[in-house]
Chains A and B, each alone.
Chain A
């Protein structure tokens, strides 16, 4: 694929990717087409261990498709995905999960007939390749994870009795219960109010603090700026910009992609007037 088409910005010295550190996850020219449309078009991306990387972009930019490619839900039409140096392209979702890549779904997909605790236990039962766990140990892990995401008090409730924010927490809890090294979060903050976003941010920080790399898709800019070390912007399946969140969000191409050319021009004009920027 066109390896050099999306040049990486020079990395900051204090970022985890600096120096000789090998990336934990590496995407090389990843392409996914639906019919004639390339939803993801030659994306190159490196995620370092312990990083919190945000992916933003307008609707239809290919963010969720990219996540589906990484987690094995979609087969690639081109390029390669490497996990700790080894290719995982074409691997079945359950094998990707057992390697230590957990994910959530944008539209929550709880196991409806189960309680919150049982939902989390599924992740604990199946999510890791280490010694086979029995249901008993899995429930212990489930309890710990539910406490971590703040659902401990509602562990015994059926999913139907959970609020939307709680179901989003459960979605994260289930993924965390697989004990991932990398967690892919697909818009876990969407649809939450400000207080709930703060709680969700705390939750992500808590999970990250246990040593988990986080790659999150988000529309809420506050989240990107608030916790991400780095952000990449996708547009029409390509990487438009990459770098520190504050810098990326001020990038004119990004503003244009989100808000349209006219708005970008006006913003530039007003920026020139008062001499900033």
Chain B
């Protein structure tokens, strides 16, 4: 089975003190750690597990700048066989649609039975690339997948719906899956694989190979801003004791207890 996993290098912002930069279109990144996008780590692991079970090859692809090669090397160390970086710097501002088109331009020429992506990226939270890529490639797909079983040429994909419902899809290969966190336990890399990965060549594809004129965005970023405080929101300040007392007062005033 030939598998492709799409991964993204993202800044860790969940617990960081995030500030908007002077362009107003990006965040200050010089004090942020960068990692593989969280749900992509699960997508990668799912791809590795399938490769181990059915043999074949696993190719990882990332649309990113040069630093993304560090993330691709991590994927190589964990079990991918080949890595491709699509030069983000060649294609200007990217939205989910444009990123999906870049991936399609490369993947259409690669042999593939299954494609895995994360279900959402923790930098822009667009959650568009996987499903758009599947549509562009004309492939069956399942989003937000929490369990996959393969039986012959049929894939059983399970997705969580709202209200505790689980959807069970029976699909034929080739197909694309956007993977939810928690579906598996992403692995560590062994030192032997790390040494091997450090020496592997990463294929780099840019505007020489992909005609940039054909790749367009659906949306453009106007500006980033912190959400304004809503009319019914009250931000409490003071010491923990003062805030606690005030919260207690509000709860009583509103008759919530």
Q: Do A and B come from one complex?
A: no
Interface residues in chain B, defined as those with a beta carbon under 8 Å from any beta carbon in chain A: none
